[in-house]
Amino acid sequence: MLFESYRFDNLETDETIFVQEWSYFWAAIGGPIYLLARRHFRRAALMTAISALLLVAVASGLSLVVGLFDDIAISIVCGITLPVIAMAAQSVIAVQLERAALISQGWRGGY
């Protein structure tokens, strides 16, 4: 599944963290800010670079499509789909970075 839900348990403090649908939404909107809010500072720095690469890829793709095709419909469709795909990729990458950070901090994946 693309947007998988996760549950993490801290055995020392008996806390539980859920990473679910809203996490993907906020990660898509915020990217590095989402990770900063969750206090994963190193992962947020990495996500900043990934978000910049996604932005460059979307801008390059849009300029390529507009330059190659002289059709307004293709430009509109690409103008909508490329950013949506980039936001979906950003959300999945940010959640996976959060998952890796939690596991490295000693949280156990719940079942």
pTM recorded for the entire structure: 0.90
Q: What are phi and psi of 9, to 5 degrees?
A: -115, 135
Domain residue extents for the chain: 10-109
Helix (H) or strand (E) holding 94: helix 72-104
Instruction: Quick: pLDDT tens for 8-50.
Output: 999 899 999 999 999 999 999 999 999 999 999 999 999 999 9
Q: What is the DSSP letter of 20?
A: -
| Residue 64 in this model has a pLDDT that exceeds 80 | yes
Of the candidates 77, 97, 78, 83, which has an alpha carbon nearest to the alpha carbon of residue 32? Answer: 97
> So what's the pLDDT on residue 15?
93
Reported confidence tier of residue 83, pLDDT bands at 50, 70, 90: very high
